[in-house]
Amino acid sequence: RRYKLMYTIKLLDENIVIDDEKSDSNSYIFNIHLKNKYCDCPNCNNRTKSIHSIHHRKLQDLPIQNKTVYLDIKMRHMICRKCGTIFTEPLSFAYSKSHMTNRLKDYIVETAAPNSSLIAEQQLQKSGIKVKKSTICALLKKRWTCTN
């Protein structure tokens, strides 16, 4: 069972390393980091491995067995030795400043599209997704304006 849980998380990105996993009756928390050694500077495209600092970022992912799943990601702030730009290593599975993985956002939109946002909120909450009606509406609006 533990292998299946970890496999589900690693599907997000092949560079994920799971450092630790904790669970209680309502949730799973996976402490992860990315094994990439280098990042490309968004300013000058220079490849760097110089770490400026480290911080943690918490994202919600798809639920497992109706339990809320959180990813506690050890994020590196990198510094480019060529131009001095400080930047955060990018994640392939979540947009900058997002609190959810892209696949969770997609699932919320798929669930909410044929329903009212209130019904969708109730269904999602029952399945272990912590989301409010206002977030559902914002995701639907963003998706609708991006595709039309």
User: Helices 133-147 and 117-126 sit at what angle, rounded to 10 degrees?
Assistant: 120
Helices (H) and strands (E) in the chain, counts: 4, 7
SS3 97: coil
Q: Is the pLDDT of residue 3 over 70?
A: no
Nearest to 14 by CA among 44, 34, 37, 42: 34
Q: Is the pLDDT of residue 85 over 50?
A: yes
Q: Is the pLDDT of residue 106 over 90?
A: yes
**Token pair in block for residue 144:** 């609708």
CA atoms within 13 A on the CB side of 45: 0
Nearest-angstrom CA–CA distance, 35 and 30: 15
Q: Residue type for 58, please?
A: K
Per residue in 48-82, pLDDT tens?
A: 999 999 999 999 999 998 999 999 999 999 999 99
Per residue in 47-57, pLDDT tens?
A: 999 999 999 99
